[in-house]
């Protein structure tokens, strides 16, 4: 969990995708997040957290639905979205905190 904490405490925004391998909407969101990562470059990080194997983080952040996106800046949650969101909305929210 130390590495996770290092990532979310960064000055650079970190988008965390809480997902599950069995989740249909998560499979829809995954390629979109790859596209977003390519478009935003190094202005932010995007990481994936499997809710079934990372139960500590799942409980700590109250993840009840997948997919859930949390955007962290300096350790604080600055944006939260459950379900599949559109690419434009995700990028706009990331850029607000750069």
Both tokens assigned to 91: 């990028």
Instruction: Report the distance separating Cα 28 and Cα 9, nearest Å.
Output: 28
Is 6 an annotated catalytic residue?
no
Computed over every residue of the chain, the mean pLDDT equals 94
Q: Which of 15, 16, 26, 40 is catalytic?
A: 26
Average pLDDT estimate for 87-94: 96
Fold topology of 2-96: Glutaredoxin (3.40.30)
Per-residue pLDDT band for 73 (boundaries 50, 70, 90) equals very high
Q: At what angle do helices 87-96 and 24-40 cross, to 10 degrees?
A: 50
Is 93 known to be catalytic?
A: no
Mean pLDDT of 2-30: 92
pTM for this one?
Answer: 0.94
Annotated catalytic residue within 8, 15, 16, 23: 23
pLDDT tens per residue, range 76-90: 999 999 999 999 999
What is the domain partition of the chain in residue ranges? 2-96
| 71 closest CA partner among 24, 23, 1, 12 | 12
């Amino acid at each position: 969990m130390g590495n996770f904490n290092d990532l979310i405490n960064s000055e650079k925004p970190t988008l965390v995708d809480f997902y599950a391998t069995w989740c249909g909407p998560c499979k829809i969101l995954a390629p979109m997040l790859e596209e977003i990562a390519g478009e935003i470059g190094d202005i932010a990080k995007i990481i994936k957290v499997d809710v079934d194997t990372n139960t500590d983080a799942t409980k700590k952040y109250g993840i009840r639905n997948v997919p859930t996106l949390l955007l962290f800046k300096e350790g604080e949650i600055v944006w939260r979205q459950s379900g599949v969101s559109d690419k434009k909305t995700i990028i706009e929210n990331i850029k607000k905190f750069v």
